A and B are shown apart, each in its own frame.
Chain A
């Protein structure tokens, strides 16, 4: 079964600085998707960014970008110019192209210091 590991339970960053959140996954499949979700105190899950495994180019969404290393099964999230509103739990997720089962990591709590 696929597993997703986030090794950093908590991270902290100074406002306007850059922070990188780590994620690794285990799979034997070649076709899959990876995601980063943000969960603020309101608890609602918000899609931040996604990456298709067949794409070599790293996905970017404004201040959010990923470093996707397929061979190493690594998918880190970089947040540039951190803002106070970025403070939240961040979840890495994996989904096989062949089914609807999304697997999530345990999450990283990000604190942004003013």
Chain B
């Protein structure tokens, strides 16, 4: 039981490049989330998916798109990376009825130069 996995662990992009961060969970959770963590700040919610087939914006969605590919997988795409998107990105999941308990992945450190 791996929990929540994220790939890649590290990534360096140049301004304007695109990439997709992958997230998968094997706990049969309905809900999945993407956060970013910047120095001196707490995590901020980018997008979430309450269930397969649905996605909603969080606090800081601009510059990102998401896809809930199936129940297990929830990807985050940067279409045209900007230096302001340099951050650590966390994926999380929670089961139906226990949405207050989120399980986090190990994070992806992204640098945009």
Which of A4, A46, A100 lies at the interface centre, i.e. has the most chain B CB atoms within 10 A of its CB? A100
Of residues 72 through 114 on chain A, the ones whose CB sits less than 8 Å from some CB of chain B are 91, 93, 95, 100-107
Partner of B100, one of A4, A35, A43: A35
The answer to the question of A11 belonging to the interface, with a C-beta cut-off of 8 Å to chain B, is no
Q: Which residues of B contact A100 (CB under 8 A)?
A: 31, 33, 45, 48, 50, 56, 58, 99
Check if B58 sits within 8 Å of A47, measured CB to CB.
no
Task: Report how many residues on chain B are interfacial, defined by Cβ distance under 8 Å.
Answer: 25
Bound CA span A111–B63, Å: 36
A42 within 8 A of B: yes
- B residues in contact (CB < 8 Å) with A: 31, 33, 40-45, 48, 50, 56, 58-59, 88, 90, 92, 99-107
List 20 interface pairs A-B (beta carbons < 8 Å), by A numbering. Answer: A35-B100, A43-B90, A44-B104, A44-B105, A45-B43, A45-B92, A45-B104, A47-B102, A47-B103, A50-B100, A50-B101, A91-B42, A91-B43, A100-B48, A100-B56, A100-B58, A101-B48, A101-B58, A102-B33, A106-B40
